[in-house]
Amino acid sequence: MPHALTRAIAAARVILLTTPDIDGDAVGSIVALARAITTRWPGRRVIVGADEALPTRYAFLADPDLFQVAPDLPDAPIDLALVLDGDPSRLQAVGEAYRSARLRGLVDHHKSSVHADVDIAFLDPRCSSTAEMVLRLCDHWGVPLDRPLAEAIWAGMVFDTSVFRYRLTRPATLRAAARLLETGIDHARIVEQVLLSQSAAKVALRGVMINRMRIGADGRLAWAALDAETVAGTETGGLVDDLVFIEGVEIGALLVDKGEGRVKLSLRSRGGVDVSVLARGLSPKGGGHARAAGATLAGPLEAAVQATVVAARAALHAPDALKGDTPDAGA
């Protein structure tokens, strides 16, 4: 167990929790860890900072004021900064607060996380979600599993496993899930809130994506590109899943023009290709899991599409070269 992390939290007065991507696992993990820390060590001040505001979908998990948007963070010297569910190198404005901390740590289940800028790492790439790792911390610290804690951890687990569909769902994951349900949480409502419920704009965007989808590499690659004008600020999380679950397709790739010369690439795999290696090959900060990964590429959109398709075709033709150490792992 992470004794160094426990000692660092016990010794800190002001603790910053942050993440590079505000998704269901990141929010669930942060909310749960903040609660666990203040329960176990009353008097600790926990600041939650991120590069974006908390999406309204997750508002039911946290006081909206809990998540503060960098650089507008409280002006307090940070003793310990922890990044959850992602790589510290991908922090943007909040990275300055992270680096200002006396001690820096990482709690993560991504296998491609880089350990630069990290003093203490609690990593478990076999874990289905960072939230599941936070539950282990709660147990280690003797923090009782109450309903608010269980709701936050459940949100993270169901988000990252897509309700226990993916390979990283292990017996331990389901045992942990059973304990969460035993607290009496409204598990179905949380699944609806974090995964199923979508804006009308996103459903319409899915239609556009499917219309623009291209299939290549003998039916093994599906990709689509969405320009900034079409996306118009609509959230695109999870759309890429529609591309990979097509019969015969092994890699799904969605490219979204974020403006200012940046293109967000989301990759999914269900064949032998480790897309975290593919993402890393396309951008030094790219990465993720064997079956779900991403990267930010340089624009214009057409150039990013071209680079992605070329790299994905190469990966499909030489899958051994891109296989990770644990081909069975992946989100």
The binding site for Mn ion (CB under 5 A) comprises 25, 85, 129-130, 160
Closest approach of Cβ 215 to Mn ion, in Å?
A: 29
Closest approach of Cβ 108 to Mn ion, in Å?
A: 8
In terms of CB distance, is 79 or 274 closer to Mn ion?
274
In terms of CB distance, is 25 or 250 closer to Mn ion?
25
In terms of CB distance, is 78 or 330 closer to Mn ion?
330
Closest approach of Cβ 109 to Mn ion, in Å?
A: 6
Closest approach of Cβ 331 to Mn ion, in Å?
A: 7
In terms of CB distance, is 130 or 266 closer to Mn ion?
130
Closest approach of Cβ 211 to Mn ion, in Å?
A: 30
In terms of CB distance, is 25 or 79 closer to Mn ion?
25
Q: Rounded distance, CA 315 to CA 269, Å?
A: 11
Of all residues in the shown chain, the one whose CB is closest to Mn ion is: 25
Name the residue with tokens 């289905």. 128
Closest approach of Cβ 160 to Mn ion, in Å?
A: 4
In terms of CB distance, is 21 or 227 closer to Mn ion?
21
